[in-house]
Amino acid sequence: MLVAMARKSATDDPLAPVTLAVGQEELLLDRAVREVVVAARAADADTDVRDLTPEQLQPGTLAELTSPSLFAERKVVVVRNAQDLSADTIKDVTAYLGSPAEEITLVLLHAGGVKGKKLLDAARKAGAREVACPKMTKPADRLAFVRSEFRATGRSATPEACQALVDAIGSDLRELASAVSQLVADVEGTIDEAVVGRYYTGRAEASSFTVADRAVEGRAAEALEALRWSLATGVAPVMITSALAQGVRAIGKLSSARGGRPADLARELGMPPWKIDRVRQQMRGWTPDGVAVALQAVAEADAGVKGGGDDPGYALEKAVVAIARAARSRGRT
């Protein structure tokens, strides 16, 4: 699937020597990477993909990865959070941009903004293919995203159905994309408001976010009740694992951030101020070890709901219990 809702530069070839994906919307960033990888493997099924964090891309690493090979293999090198690269590594990348290697596609994921702007400017000056992946903070943007998701599948949904889906699901693009996929898979013909209502009406009390909130607050019984009701009302298991992951990551991000006003922390962490206040309340009882345990539980549940286990519901129940226990880890012996 193409990178829905992402604006691209005039050079729209996924196999351009350098692709620059700019923004903080994780779903669109992941799709930008996937589009390049799919195109590369269509050209060469044996394409080698290297997906690197700033810590993994040390000075000299890029030169090693992009040096000529005896087998002239095609390679995709993905650099995440490029704004966090060290000054010496930025020099390496900037030098590479002036003379990119053949059969190599470099994908730089950059949050935008002031940090790492020198690299951003250098990539643009070098003519990199650019994909804009901004956070969708406005309801109108999310509505347009849902419409584009339906169009990408070749299916028709009424304007009322799209609006009802946004109202029911909320602001998380991964959940919106999952909901569209579920409806397209389950329903024949045009998807209207009545169909969305059957799947998601009343979801405010049984949403994946409610499950996550109760779990990270250590309220295991309430989280399990919300989980079972969510599954019974048709919420896709993958949407629940996504919400659990977001809930635990928010705890981890805020617990490692320096103190400050909600507005300052919101800018630093990419969360709305109201969420900063809520996560602060949820943080009580959490420890760094608890966050690590909870993230592992989410990873196991994610594998379980995506085919790694026989019972997605059981995998989710195990994760919810583990997260709720981790939320009460402070003070336990």
263: confidence class by pLDDT, cuts 50, 70, 90: low
- What's the token pair of residue 197? 């209502």
Which CATH class, in words, describes the domain spanning 18-65+72-133? alpha beta
10: confidence class by pLDDT, cuts 50, 70, 90: very low
Q: Name the packing angle between helices 312-326 and 208-216 (round to 10°).
A: 40
Pairing between β-strand 7-8 and β-strand 129-132 as defined by DSSP bridges? antiparallel
Q: Which residues pair with 104 in a beta bridge?
A: 75
Instruction: Please determine, for residue 124, whether its predicted confidence score (pLDDT) is greater than 70.
Output: yes
Q: Is 68 exposed, middle or buried (0-12, 13-18, 19+ CB in 10 A)?
A: exposed
Tell me what the mean pLDDT of segment 209-233 comes to. 88
Assign a CATH topology to domain 208-327: Zinc Finger, Delta Prime; domain 3 (1.20.272)
Can you say whether residue 218 is alpha, beta or left, with left for phi > 0 and alpha for psi between -120 and 50 degrees?
left
From the list 227, 233, 236, the residue with the least C-alpha distance to 321 is: 227
Say what the pLDDT of residue 83 is.
95
Tell me the pLDDT of the chain averaged across its residues.
86
From the list 187, 164, 185, 186, the residue with the least C-alpha distance to 176 is: 164
From the list 169, 238, 163, the residue with the least C-alpha distance to 210 is: 169
Say what the pLDDT of residue 333 is.
41
Say what the pLDDT of residue 153 is.
93
Tell me what the mean pLDDT of segment 248-277 comes to. 73
Q: Architecture of domain 139-200 in CATH?
A: Orthogonal Bundle (1.10)
Pairing between β-strand 129-132 and β-strand 18-22 as defined by DSSP bridges? parallel
Q: Per-residue pLDDT tens for 36-65?
A: 999 999 999 999 999 999 999 999 999 999
State which H helix or E strand residue 181 sits in: helix 173-186
Instruction: Please determine, for residue 156, whether its predicted confidence score (pLDDT) is greater than 60.
Output: yes
Range with the poorest average pLDDT among 193-197, 223-227, 311-315: 193-197
Task: Measure the CA–CA gap between 328 and 33, rounded to whole angstroms.
Answer: 37
| Per-residue CA distances from 46 to 37, 120, 122 (Å) | 11, 30, 30
Name which residue leads in pLDDT, 269 or 143.
Answer: 143
pLDDT > 70: what percent of the chain? 87
Say what the pLDDT of residue 275 is.
72
Tell me what the mean pLDDT of segment 121-141 comes to. 92
Say what the pLDDT of residue 256 is.
77
Domain ranges of the chain: 18-65+72-133, 139-200, 208-327
Q: What is the pTM of this model?
A: 0.58
